[in-house]
Structure 1
Amino acid sequence: MKKNYLFVILALLCWPCIFSAHATDFYVSKSGNDKNPGTREAPVATLEAARDLIRKQKSIEAHPKEGFTVWVSAGEYYQSGSFTLNANDSGLPHAPVTYRAVPGDRVFITGGVSIPQSAVKRLDPGSIKAILTPDAKKNVYFVDLKSLGITDFGTHKQYGHALPVNPAPVELFFNSRPLTLARYPNKGFIPIEEVVDPGSNPRMGDHSNRGATIKYTDKRHEVWAGNDDVWFQGTFYNGYADDKIHVESIDPRTREIKFSTPHMYSVRGGKEYTHYVALNILDELDMPGEWYADRKSGILYFWPPEQIDVNTRLEISLLEDPVVSLEGVSHVILRDFTIQNGRGIGIYMERGVNNLVAGCTVRNFGTTGILLGQGARQTVPYITHDFYEGVPISRRVGNYAAHIYKYTTWDRMAGKNHKVLSCNIYNTGAGGIVLSGGSKRKLVPGNNVVENCKIHDYNRRNKFRWGGVIVDGCGNKVRHNEIYNADFQAIFSVGPEHIFEYNDIHHVTLHSDDVSVWYTGRDPSDRGLIVRYNYFHECGNAKRMNMGVYCDDSSGGITVFGNVFYNMHTAHGVLYSNTGWDLTMKNNIIIHPHSYTAVLSPHYYTWYKGRAPIMFGKGKLFEQRLLKDVNIRKPPYSERYPKLVNYMDVIVEGEEWEGMHSRRNVLSTNVIVGGNKDLIQIRGGKYGVFENINNYHTNGDPGFENFQQQNFMLKEDSKVYKKLPDFEKIPFDRMGLYEDEFRKNLISE
């Protein structure tokens, strides 16, 4: 009997161990300990410990039919390295491994640390040499980061058009909002007026690495002379080509500014969009919401955007690796977390199948919010475009843009059947989500999806090309998202057979030139793109060259169907094409367009006669893309896209090929309210083709449910159905976000 009592006592003492050995649920808590068994009563303290408990259990017994769930309790979980899941951490198709916040709890997985309020001090103006305003002297605070053991402040690097995307240096967040690096001017830009030396022109093959020299007229520049870490960010030649360039010197005697390195196109002035702001200058910390870090002393200065109280949260970013990395893992669900405050990527996904990221807030990152697939490391040591070389890399964005431009069939190893669902992504440095998957070469779809996500303020650092969603590969979907608040693109598309549907896109391309809301370009094999049932509104800048849907440089095989366009301030048309083939714009509603509905510029015919840049010379770019990267004359392209087979056929040897002639472009069965009654403009060239078939133009209400309140559903008795009997009902009420179990749990911004 004594032995039996002893057995019972031992069994009770070991109950947590027995439970853990057969558990499908594990628990993580800020009050836990990684030596615990991970039960509700004895949770672990880190995500890694919970992951390892699942690995251990899977090594002992079969994967349970109900899968595993890791429940994470409220709190902030700092990641000094990526939380990484690999093939060992996979679930099964009907038994996933789920990591989720406890319902009702706010769980923060962070790449940064909080600064204790005890470390925040009032500034002694006599302690710094900076020329601060009287208000700044009274309102600026400082933190000695080195005294907190923080010594890695990162470094400022050049970034911009066709350049690598670099992890950010340290950034400061006040109550979860990024503060502005001290800049001049506080609003607007400094125009470039006189250029002494434009510097070298890497775009045209000049790799001498000579920085430009310009004159300044604003005497404020003289305050910055002698400061060795001043940076100018702006558009220095073209209004789409952003850059951040280091200032080598400022000479008050000659009023000359010398840059350390060149801009991609060299530097010019005199355009409305050639301008810059000056960054990273302590003397310019002169308004609420600005900050500056002195990397030598380790002192961080800031002017709070609002009064500091006991609830104020002050955080800085530290981690350059992704905060979460899913690499080779399958059948995993991440849900209901706030992932934040990293210098690099928020969530990185590579390989694997059927992973779901749902109900997560991804914010405050130095580069991209969510990256599906590899980035690229540039291997040539100079700024370049056509002479780029590089290799794929994991966990970094790098020069993804240049790599996929050169290697158009690059399989970025993004996996398939992944979904990013009902997430909020904002305050990122280089785009919201980069989506990939599938094979462009074989025309095999990736079936990866971004759905029901709110994506905004995604250009804090890199601008051109870094849209709310960037998609490549083959056969992926972007649907039911809201994308807004950006000076540059909302969507940038590379690769064939993607679908963009039911999105609400507004207030983008607000301050850029030769930029569009939706873009694809320079590869005629990127066909089968569908842009349907989207609401585009309040986009563009009437003073700039802006477009709505931009089918650039010989894009073709694109269908724009059933969309609603409202107040598009796009001077180059709602749809714009350069020498496109097989463009169909049908059954759309266009309300108050700034200019034409469709604009076609068949410019290749003239460009080929000696004015072409390097990449167009003698058609070599398209020879590479259409006959080598893929072969449009052989399966699968010849079977899927027989109309493309003759694209590279020669008309005049060395002078002209078939692709230089626009073909089979149609504007049909659209409703246009206001705007130019001439719906189509052909801009030069004798080979422009865009048919105008059975469109209805009116200056009045064609029968909307409520024109004044911008409800653009057509009433059942709308005159549109009489004027255009074949017009199909547009599901305006389904465009944009929808409520589901994941969006309900998202924290308010």
Structure 2
Amino acid sequence: MKADLFVSPAGDDNWSGRSEHHEGNEGPLATLTRARDVVRTIPTAGRADHGVIVEVLGGTYELTEPLALTEEDSGTPEAPVIYRARHAEEVRLIGGKVLSAFSPVTDRAILQRLDPAARDHVVQTNLADQGIADFGQLTAPGWYQGQPGLELFYRGERMTLARWPNEGFVHLDSIDVDGNTPLQNRLTASGEIRGSNEGRFVYDGDRPSRWTDEDDVWLHGHWFFDWADQRQKVAAIDTKKRTITMEGPNHAFGYRAGQWYYALNVLAELDRPGEWYLDRRTGVLYFWPPAPLEAGEVSVSIAPQLIQLQGTRHVAFQGMNMESVRGTAITIDAGEGNLVCGCTIRNASSWGVMITGGTACGVEGCDLHALGEGGIWLEGGDRPTLTPGRHFALNNHIH
């Protein structure tokens, strides 16, 4: 069916959007947000029998905040509102910005902190100079409470925040720091296990001595049970006693010897291709690219979501690539008859699509991968009255 509005990376939000070719005031729009606003001006009675079709031309669209649709953006069962990628063209919605202006590291203090093997390979760029001020926080995910901050992507792949060890984990050597650490017994199915709630432990070896110039070191560990992981900030490192003290609040189950953890967000551990580090005080990002920079695109995530539908009815998104977002890519809440179809959704820190409340919304024929929590969340209906939600996920590839 013929499109009613057009969006293009070469467009202009001051144009009408009624034509894909520019002539005078006619021409495609530049953003989906402006397209949404134009759709709102089209009265229901004045819409074509097929509804409203917004055709998005190939290219990359940077969304630093979500495209938010509400009840006023709705279609009808007979005349839906459809946002579709042009056939055979790649449309990318990225929840952030493509980075540029990389240069070699020349600051002697930074070079001294870097691993010698990395000094000739790591490059830097200032995010603040590129209009990026919201870096997010390295909060304590785990316990189903992930709060992701900024992530880095190269060639569409998530890069690794500088960590040690590079693979796997190391073990807590001891939790009895000074011979007087109070220990508690925790009853488990296999018997009692002794642990400490104090948030201090003895480490093995000398590796943490490299981190004493770092002020934002975090540890991600399975501190007491193998099934309960949590990330925590380091408050202090005592290299003489070989002890690490956590910044509270401490892990709810406590800590026990032999459990496992790794360190992350450590510039001194940026020691292999694909790792990166962001100095949140200066806004400078350091990166060891796994291939020449000119061979691929470098981007960071900024937006918490790409698309938010709240109380929206009969709206569809078709054929787009959606990626690089700090939370869930698409959220649909209290909607009816909304559809995500034929899309590729990747590199979201939380879920690909989350549908809650409402009725008869679905995800069909989509490819979802590289997601932090899961692919598709469906929640609806009313249990007390046994009213079905009728949400659906059909013929998707989640991997």
Normalising by structure 2, report the TM-score: 0.89
Corresponding residue for 2:55?
71
Corresponding residue for 2:119?
137
| Change in CA separation of 1:453 and 1:181 when aligned onto 2, cut-off 3 Å | same
> 1:444 and 2:396 equivalent?
no
Corresponding residue for 1:421?
364
Corresponding residue for 2:191?
none
> 1:101 and 2:89 equivalent?
no
Distance across 2 between alignment mates of 1:367 and 1:199: 36
Tell me which of 323, 344, 351 is aligned to 1:361. Answer: 344
Return the letter of the residue paired with 1:340.
E
Return the letter of the residue paired with 2:84.
R
Distance across 2 between alignment mates of 1:130 and 1:157: 28
Distance across 2 between alignment mates of 1:195 and 1:250: 14
| Change in CA separation of 1:94 and 1:202 when aligned onto 2, cut-off 3 Å | farther
Distance across 2 between alignment mates of 1:130 and 1:448: 56
Contact 1:179 1:290 (8 Å CA) reproduced: yes
| Change in CA separation of 1:201 and 1:72 when aligned onto 2, cut-off 3 Å | farther
> 1:38 and 2:23 equivalent?
no
Alignment: residue pair count: 380
Corresponding residue for 2:254?
266
CA RMSD of aligned residues (A): 2.4
Distance across 1 between alignment mates of 2:213 and 2:8: 50
Distance across 2 between alignment mates of 1:84 and 1:131: 43
Q: Which has the higher contact order (CA 8 A, sep 6+)?
A: 2
Corresponding residue for 1:88?
72
> 1:128 and 2:113 equivalent?
no
Matches within 5 A, 1:326-341: 326-341=309-324
> 1:110 and 2:94 equivalent?
yes
CA deviation after TM superposition for structure 1 residue 308, in Å: 2.5
Distance across 2 between alignment mates of 1:450 and 1:108: 22
| Change in CA separation of 1:275 and 1:37 when aligned onto 2, cut-off 3 Å | same
Corresponding residue for 2:136?
154
Distance across 2 between alignment mates of 1:199 and 1:370: 44
Return the letter of the residue paired with 1:87.
E
Distance across 1 between alignment mates of 2:37 and 2:284: 39
Contact 1:161 1:264 (8 Å CA) reproduced: no
CA deviation after TM superposition for structure 1 residue 52, in Å: 1.9
Corresponding residue for 2:193?
none
| Change in CA separation of 1:199 and 1:300 when aligned onto 2, cut-off 3 Å | farther
Secondary structure in structure 2 of the residue aligned to 1:80? coil
Distance across 2 between alignment mates of 1:200 and 1:68: 64
CA deviation after TM superposition for structure 1 residue 158, in Å: 1.0
CA deviation after TM superposition for structure 1 residue 210, in Å: 6.2
Corresponding residue for 1:165?
146
Tell me which of 285, 292, 305 is aligned to 2:270. Answer: 285
Secondary structure in structure 1 of the residue aligned to 2:97? strand
Contact 2:96 2:299 (8 Å CA) reproduced: yes
Return the letter of the residue paired with 1:282.
L
| Change in CA separation of 1:130 and 1:247 when aligned onto 2, cut-off 3 Å | farther
CA deviation after TM superposition for structure 1 residue 198, in Å: 7.9
Secondary structure in structure 2 of the residue aligned to 1:158? coil
Return the letter of the residue paired with 1:173.
F
Contact 2:105 2:111 (8 Å CA) reproduced: no
Return the letter of the residue paired with 2:283.
G
Contact 2:51 2:81 (8 Å CA) reproduced: yes
| Change in CA separation of 1:136 and 1:226 when aligned onto 2, cut-off 3 Å | closer
CA deviation after TM superposition for structure 1 residue 84, in Å: 1.3
CA deviation after TM superposition for structure 1 residue 125, in Å: 6.2
C-alpha distance after superposition, 1:488-508 (max 9, x if no partner)? xxxxxxxxxxxxxxxxxxxxx
Matches within 5 A, 1:294-313: 294-309=279-294, 311-313=295-297
Secondary structure in structure 2 of the residue aligned to 1:160? coil
Identity of aligned residues (%): 35
C-alpha distance after superposition, 1:419-458 (max 9, x if no partner)? 11121222222322222111223322212112222223xx
CA deviation after TM superposition for structure 1 residue 58, in Å: 1.6
Return the letter of the residue paired with 2:362.
K
| Change in CA separation of 1:340 and 1:202 when aligned onto 2, cut-off 3 Å | farther
Distance across 2 between alignment mates of 1:179 and 1:338: 19
Corresponding residue for 1:248?
235
C-alpha distance after superposition, 1:526-575 (max 9, x if no partner)? xxxxxxxxxxxxxxxxxxxxxxxxxxxxxxxxxxxxxxxxxxxxxxxxxx
Distance across 2 between alignment mates of 1:269 and 1:453: 43
C-alpha distance after superposition, 1:296-339 (max 9, x if no partner)? 12111111112222x4201011123x110111111111011111
Contact 1:198 1:266 (8 Å CA) reproduced: no
Matches within 5 A, 1:590-629: none
C-alpha distance after superposition, 1:230-270 (max 9, x if no partner)? 11112111111111111111111111111112112111123
Q: Which has the larger radius of gyration?
A: 1
C-alpha distance after superposition, 1:68-110 (max 9, x if no partner)? 1100001111223211111111111122111010011111112
Distance across 2 between alignment mates of 1:448 and 1:153: 35
| Change in CA separation of 1:56 and 1:199 when aligned onto 2, cut-off 3 Å | farther
Contact 2:85 2:318 (8 Å CA) reproduced: yes
Distance across 2 between alignment mates of 1:84 and 1:198: 52
Secondary structure in structure 2 of the residue aligned to 1:195? coil
| Change in CA separation of 1:199 and 1:353 when aligned onto 2, cut-off 3 Å | farther
C-alpha distance after superposition, 1:336-391 (max 9, x if no partner)? 11111122221111011111101111122222222222xxxxxxxxxxxxxxxxxx
CA deviation after TM superposition for structure 1 residue 226, in Å: 4.9
Distance across 1 between alignment mates of 2:278 and 2:166: 18
Distance across 1 between alignment mates of 2:185 and 2:78: 56
Corresponding residue for 1:454?
397
| Change in CA separation of 1:71 and 1:193 when aligned onto 2, cut-off 3 Å | same
Which structure dedicates a bigger proportion of its chain to helix?
1
CA deviation after TM superposition for structure 1 residue 200, in Å: 9.5
Corresponding residue for 2:166?
186
Distance across 2 between alignment mates of 1:44 and 1:218: 59
Return the letter of the residue paired with 1:366.
S
Q: Tell me, which stretches of 5 or more residues in structure 1 are unaligned?
A: 1-22, 204-208, 374-413, 457-749
| Change in CA separation of 1:126 and 1:346 when aligned onto 2, cut-off 3 Å | same
Return the letter of the residue paired with 1:111.
G
Return the letter of the residue paired with 1:94.
E
Distance across 1 between alignment mates of 2:30 and 2:391: 33
Contact 1:236 1:266 (8 Å CA) reproduced: yes
CA deviation after TM superposition for structure 1 residue 201, in Å: 11
Distance across 1 between alignment mates of 2:150 and 2:231: 17
Secondary structure in structure 2 of the residue aligned to 1:330? coil
Tell me which of 216, 224, 229 is aligned to 1:229. Answer: 216
Contact 1:354 1:417 (8 Å CA) reproduced: yes
C-alpha distance after superposition, 1:390-435 (max 9, x if no partner)? xxxxxxxxxxxxxxxxxxxxxxxx2111111121222222322222
Distance across 2 between alignment mates of 1:334 and 1:218: 53
Corresponding residue for 2:332?
349
Distance across 2 between alignment mates of 1:73 and 1:318: 23
Tell me which of 34, 50, 57 is aligned to 1:49. Answer: 34
Distance across 1 between alignment mates of 2:284 and 2:113: 17
| Change in CA separation of 1:70 and 1:200 when aligned onto 2, cut-off 3 Å | farther
Q: Tell me, which stretches of 5 or more residues in structure 2 are unaligned?
A: 22-26, 188-195
Corresponding residue for 1:220?
207
Contact 2:348 2:370 (8 Å CA) reproduced: yes
Distance across 2 between alignment mates of 1:26 and 1:63: 12
Normalising by structure 1, report the TM-score: 0.49
